[in-house]
Amino acid sequence: MKVIVLLADGARADWFASALNSGAVPSLARLRDEGALHAVATVFPSVTGMAYAPFLMGRFPGGVGLPGLRWFDRARTRCRWPDYCRSYTGYQYAYATGDIDPRAPTIYELVPRSVGILSPITRGLSSERKSLSLTPRSALRALRTHYFGSAADMLKVDREVATATVERAGEVPYLFAAFGSIDKLSHAEGHQSPRVLDALRIVDTTVAAVRDKLERRAEWNDTRVWITSDHGHSPVSRHEDLERVVRGLGFRVIAHPWTYGIAPEVAVMVSGNAMAHVYVDLAKRERPFIRGMSDRARALADQLLDLPSVDLVITPLSETSSEVHSLVGGHAIVSRDGGRYSYARQTGDPLSLGRDLLDLSRDDAQDACASTLYPDAIVQIAELVGASRSGDIILSAAPEWDFRSRYEPIPHVSTHGSLRREHMEVPLLMSHRPARTPRRTTDLFPSSLTALGCSIPDGLDGLTFE
Ligand SMILES: [Zn+2]
């Protein structure tokens, strides 16, 4: 058996399903007819890079050391003096592989001869196998294009990825390839723009060519082809400069691109741009949690909740529990005890679950959230709060809003990163019917290993559907 995972970066589950229905992508529609199409949960933050950890490591990103696209290294163990800040949008992208937990294996380490094309996590990929896919130079160019370049350039990169994918398909046991244009074009023109569909057509023709090649070699039925995504998209019309707001409240703030400051008090680290980690009391080397925060910092959490741009404010109480606040919905406590999850209403019901939930399994906790605005929110919040590099105040943006404005290199009309359904629900299209219904993107990693006959390591956050 061989496995091919094609990542249509930024494809939202409902948009993807209607694209298949529209007749625009016949090879993908054929896969659905013969195999299956499911909507599964990605991870919070629903952002490129972090949201690749499930595919490549089978883990939620916070737990392996990737809490967000930008983060502040309170412990000062990984990022350098003087700012101790990380941003994967520039040259520090190269540090992602070193930032991840060395004890958590990557797919490339577990599956010899595997290939990752535009993989942000490369540990275990030999330079020879990297160059078989895309050279580090073209990968860097692709990254720059993703964040700073034009949509036309990104389409060119996708075509390169398509060529490399077809070349390597069937030659290696596991192949991962990321197509970035859907995300890029969605940011620039909106997720419903016809050009976004053009970007999906590149994935469609790639699948057609891969299928043709494998059928000619009589290998199609021994190959699992999975097309999925790392996050969705939703329209944004209002951009809050969160760092400016916090500065206006009287704090000395560091935020990208200006992370150098004298005696900074608050670090504003935005991802997506519809989520943010806010770190307070920066001189402390350990997480203060809400009870250890200064009075000013605690007041900041309340002030942020008042902003129209903020939907949910999450304040960790400990590594295993947090308050979740919404301005109109009041607050509740989300907690985790090993693999069991609870939701206890306090002044209200911010996740609109209608009841308290005690000691649920991960699957039951997901089911409880299934029909709400925030699918899988209990598990996702609990897991991110448990990450040692997470912020002291975690924000999820309101519809039509995100958290960066004047330093954003390219104007954008669509955003992602939050806990809302439009960002959290992604498609999983499968060439063959699964043995069980997939739930999360974290399921792809153990499923790949099962399909390939490899043993599954302990500590994963997903279950095999193979
Ligand atoms: Zn994006």
Enumerate residues with CB within 5 Å of ligand 1 (an ion): 183
pLDDT at 138: 65
- Sign, CA dihedral 16-22-24-29, equals positive
**Is the per-residue pLDDT at 141 higher than 80?**
no
Q: Residue 83 Cα, ligand 1 centroid: separation in angstroms?
A: 25
> How close is the Cα of 46 to the center of ligand 1, in Å?
9
Centroid of ligand 1 to alpha carbon of 414 (angstroms): 9
Cα 412 to ligand 1 centre (Å): 10
pLDDT over 90, % of the chain: 82
Cα-to-centroid distance, 149 and ligand 1 (Å)? 13
pLDDT tops 60 at residue 273: yes
Average per-residue pLDDT in the chain? Answer: 93
Assess contact for 466 and 23: CB atoms under 8 A. no
Q: What is the pLDDT of residue 139?
A: 65
Distance 58 CA to ligand 1 centre (A): 21
CA atoms within 13 A on the CB side of 211: 17
Q: Which of 2, 1, 3, 20 is nearest to 11 (CA)?
A: 20
From the CA of 273, how far away is ligand 1's center (Å)?
8
Q: What is the pLDDT of residues 376-399, one digit of tens each?
A: 999 999 999 999 999 999 999 999
- pLDDT digits over 395-432, tens only? 999 999 999 887 776 778 999 999 999 999 999 999 99
State residue 131's pLDDT score. Answer: 46
Characterize 147-168 residue by residue with b for buried, 16 or more Cβ atoms within 10 angstroms of its Cβ, and e for exposed: bebebebbbbbbebbbebbbeb
Q: How far is the CA of 48 from the centre of ligand 1 (A)?
A: 6
Distance 186 CA to ligand 1 centre (A): 8
Evaluate if residue 2 carries a pLDDT over 90.
Answer: yes
Q: In the prediction, which pLDDT does 150 show?
A: 78
Q: Tokens for 123?
A: 């540990």
pLDDT score, position 68: 96
Q: How far apart are CA 76 and CA 182, in angstroms?
A: 36
Structural Rg of the chain based on CA atoms: 21
pLDDT of residue 27: 98
Query: Which residues are CB-neighbours of 28 under 8 A, at least 6 positions away?
Result: 19, 20, 200, 203, 204, 207, 227, 429
Residue 405 is predicted with a pLDDT of: 80
Cα(147) to centroid of ligand 1, in Å?
8
- Give the pLDDT of residue 260: 83
Over residues 438-455, the mean pLDDT reads: 98
Q: Give 413 Cα–ligand 1 centroid separation in angstroms.
A: 11
Cα 230 to ligand 1 centroid, rounded to whole Å: 10
- The pTM assigned to this predicted structure is 0.95
The band of 259, judged by pLDDT with boundaries at 50, 70 and 90, is confident
Q: How many whole angstroms separate alpha carbon 162 and alpha carbon 160?
A: 5
φ/ψ of residue 300, rounded to 5: -60, -40
Winning range, highest mean pLDDT, from 25-29, 237-241, 251-255, 270-274: 25-29
In whole angstroms, what is the distance from residue 416 CA to residue 271 CA?
A: 8
d(CA 131, ligand 1 centre) in Å: 25
CA of 405 to the centre of ligand 1 (A): 15
Cα(346) to ligand 1 centroid in Å equals: 35
Residue 5: per-residue pLDDT: 98
What are the residue ranges of helices labelled H in 217-249?
A: 242-248
* The pLDDT value given to residue 132: 44
Predicted confidence (pLDDT) per residue in 79-133, tens digit: 888 889 999 887 777 788 889 999 999 999 999 899 998 888 889 887 666 544 5
Model pLDDT, residue 92:
79
Question: Does residue 173 surpass a pLDDT of 90?
Answer: yes
Ligand 1: distance of its center to the CA of 398 in Å? 17
Give me the sheet containing 223-228, strands edge to edge. Answer: 36-41, 425-430, 223-228, 2-8, 174-179, 115-117
CB of 95 within 8 A of CB of 77?
Answer: no
DSSP string, 17-42: HHHHHTTS-HHHHHHHHHSEEEEEE-
50 and 69 Cβ atoms separated by less than 8 Å? yes
- Measured in angstroms, how far is the CA atom of residue 231 from the centroid of ligand 1? 8
| Rounded Cα–Cα distance for residues 373 and 356 (Å) | 17
Percent of the chain topping pLDDT 70: 96
Q: What is the DSSP string of 122-149?
A: -TT--HHHHHHH--HHHHHHHHHHHHHS
Average pLDDT over residues 337-352: 97
Cα–ligand 1 centroid distance for 209 (angstroms):
27
The tens digit of pLDDT for each residue in 6-61 reads 999 999 999 999 999 999 999 999 999 999 999 999 999 999 989 999 999 999 99
**Contact at 8 Å (CB) between 72 and 267?**
yes
